[in-house]
Amino acid sequence: MTGMIDPFGRSVDYLRVSVTDRCDFRCVYCMAEDMTFLPKKDLLTLEELERLCAVFVSKGVRKLRLTGGEPLVRRGVMELVRNLGKLIDGGQLDELTLTTNGSQLARFSEDLYAAGVRRINVSLDTLNEEEFARITRWGRLPQVLSGIEAAKKAGLAVKINAVALKGVNEHEIPSMMEWAHGEGFDFTLIETMPLGEVDEDRTDQYLPLSRVREQLEQTYSLADIPFKTGGPARYVKIAETGGRLGFITPMTHNFCESCNRVRLTCTGTLFMCLGQEDAADLRAPLRSSESDDLVSAAIDEAIGRKPKGHDFVIGRNQAPAVGRHMSTTGG
């Protein structure tokens, strides 16, 4: 078999790249308001990130997702997107996608499409302006909605991702779903994961999606469908709207058995699992040789240690499963 195969026989063909740990929002479940970001000197340059991505592609990665922090706030990021998009033209890569908070989409949507991006995930937890400002602390809803509109106009398929938050957007889930489906967007719900210290108590935020599903079933007809986008979401079709609803349930339903991905940070650290501390440094082998042999060997060694899965637990006085924030490894 070609490509990268981990010790549990899973083929790793999906790389998520966090191009920056910085962000123009401060979502309550993701970051503390007062965050310390990485010093610039620790970051890989965009050229180095591109080189690393190319090595992964040469080793069997077929799908790349850029994330962050907010990927579109890194200066010069479109150059990276354009260069990676060329790998699609060359047939080495199947898909280049992006996870974004939408704040910069009005500016970048057309360029993204021109570079070969066809699908994007936009994170949006509420359609209520005040609630949006409260959740994101620094974000403004109209800016994101016009960004989403620009993406649609540019021809990008949009998936809306919402983190389900108990007592916050719980009551809004049906209306958000109807809005998304009305716009022709897929809609996916995510359970909060215990990643990094935030200012709020995670037990207060956590809403199991099994409960959301039960509530939706009182109003809508949900039919399980085998639809897959390469990520961990399980989809249902909603008869009443004709749209797709995805559930990402790291807490209530362990999705590790089909895990096909690894995550690279903007400092060149490779995490083999979102929920484990173990990581491999790729920056040193990348910088120590012009040839890609060292970094390629470091990747092989890391894939050989990809763990079977995570063991997230959310409870009172429970420390986060891992100390780093989601903005370090990306969603």
The DSSP 8-state label assigned to residue 119 in this structure reads E
Q: How far is the CB of 31 from ligand SF4 (least distance, A)?
A: 5
Give residue 181's region: left, alpha or beta (phi > 0; psi -120 to 50).
alpha
Q: Which of residues 57-96 bind ligand SF4 (CB under 6 A)?
A: 68-70
Per-residue mark of binding to ligand SAM, 83-102 (x: CB under 6 A) = ----------------xxx-
Considering the complex, state which of residue 97 and residue 260 has its C-beta at the smaller distance from ligand SAM: 97
User: Does 169 participate in binding ligand SF4 (rule CB under 6 A)?
Assistant: no
Q: In the complex, which residue's CB is closest to ligand SAM? A: 331
Per-residue mark of binding to ligand SF4, 278-297 (x: CB under 6 A) = --------------------
How far from 270 is each of 94, 195, 264, 281, 299, CA to CA, in Å? 21, 17, 4, 6, 8
Q: Which of residues 269-298 bind ligand SAM (CB under 6 A)?
A: none
Burial label, 200 (beta-carbon count in 10 A; 0-12, 13-18, 19+): exposed
User: Does 23 participate in binding ligand SF4 (rule CB under 6 A)?
Assistant: yes
Which of 12, 15, 19, 30 binds ligand SF4 (CB under 6 A)? It is 30
Rounded-to-integer distance, Cα 176 and Cα 174, Å: 6
Q: How far is the CB of 297 from ligand SAM (least distance, A)?
A: 30
Burial label, 325 (beta-carbon count in 10 A; 0-12, 13-18, 19+): buried
Residue 26 binding partner per list ligand SAM, ligand SF4, none, with a CB distance cut-off of 5 to 8 Å that depends on partner kind: ligand SF4
Rg (CA), the chain: 19
Rounded-to-integer distance, Cα 127 and Cα 177, Å: 11
Please answer whether residues 57 and 292 qualify as being in contact, where contact means their C-beta atoms are separated by less than 8 angstroms. no
Q: How far is the CB of 140 from ligand SAM (least distance, A)?
A: 14
User: Does 265 participate in binding ligand SF4 (rule CB under 6 A)?
Assistant: no
Q: Which stretch binds ligand SF4 (CB under 6 A): 3-11, 20-28, 224-232, 303-311?
A: 20-28
| Both tokens assigned to 33 | 């308001």
| Both tokens assigned to 210 | 């099994």
Residue 269 binding partner per list ligand SF4, ligand SAM, none, with a CB distance cut-off of 5 to 8 Å that depends on partner kind: none
User: Does 101 participate in binding ligand SF4 (rule CB under 6 A)?
Assistant: yes
Q: 178 phi and psi, to 5 degrees?
A: -65, -40
| Both tokens assigned to 331 | 């969603």
Rounded-to-integer distance, Cα 250 and Cα 253, Å: 6
Please answer whether residues 84 and 96 qualify as being in contact, where contact means their C-beta atoms are separated by less than 8 angstroms. yes
User: Does 327 participate in binding ligand SF4 (rule CB under 6 A)?
Assistant: yes
Considering the complex, state which of residue 243 and residue 250 has its C-beta at the smaller distance from ligand SF4: 250
Per-residue mark of binding to ligand SAM, 111-140 (x: CB under 6 A) = ------------x-----------------
Considering the complex, state which of residue 31 and residue 156 has its C-beta at the smaller distance from ligand SF4: 31
Rounded-to-integer distance, Cα 98 and Cα 121, Å: 6
Residues that bind ligand SF4 (CB under 6 A): 23, 25-27, 30-31, 68-70, 101, 123, 326-327
Residues that bind ligand SAM (CB under 6 A): 23, 29-30, 67-68, 70, 99-101, 123, 161, 163, 190, 192-193, 195, 326-327, 330-331
